[in-house]
A = this chain, B = another copy of it.
Amino acid sequence: MTVSDKQDFPVAQARRYLEPGPVVLLSCRHGGEHDIMTLGWHTILAFQPSLVGLMISGGNHSHRLIRDSGICGINVPSADMVDTVCRIGNTTGREIDKFDAFGLTATEAEHVDVPLIGECHACFECRLHDDTLVAGYDFFVFEIVKAHVATTPPVPEMLHYTGNGVFRLSRETLERRALFRPELLP
């Protein structure tokens, strides 16, 4: 089901969805081709500009499309998409169109020419910022230039991959604001 109530979200706060470390879906388009891949190897690098590091293994069909276009979408699936996430990660865009095969809705980004995934809770439009470590580590530094996020819940239940076909679910919330220095709280 497409999440239709997404709103603009401050790119400097993307950490709310990415810092917990969920599995994400990268979407891309280049030269008439598009693709989706799963990714668990990512980290926030800065708030402003909003930078994120992605290790996109060269074995993925998406790798070349993203390297050649310098753009991608980071889409955060909620936990109820687990079977689709597994199927995306166990097929290749060399053989199938993953939007069609898995019934996903391509929605257009505003600032970069990539399809975003309508069914995902949060979608981030990204532009390549630094490719210094691509040759050695397949590690890309992207800037998040636009964020679209569903209005509820504040953070969805997300999937965290441990390898070996096993995920952890981040369902419970633990609030500890009283232990934080005021300058670390918005």
Contact = CB atoms under 8 A, between A and B. Distances in A.
A40 interface: yes
Nearest to A57: B46
B43 A42 contact: yes
Interface string A6-30: 0000000101110111100000000
A6 B112 CA distance: 48
Interface stretch (A60-68, A103-111, A144-152, A164-172): A164-172
Contacts of A139: 45, 53
Interface in A147-186: 155, 158-181, 184-186
Nearest to A91: B181
Nearest to A174: B167
Interface string A117-155: 000000000000010110011010100000000000001
18 contacts: A17-B162, A19-B161, A20-B160, A21-B22, A40-B44, A43-B53, A82-B176, A83-B176, A83-B179, A86-B179, A133-B133, A137-B141, A158-B168, A160-B170, A165-B175, A166-B174, A169-B173, A171-B171
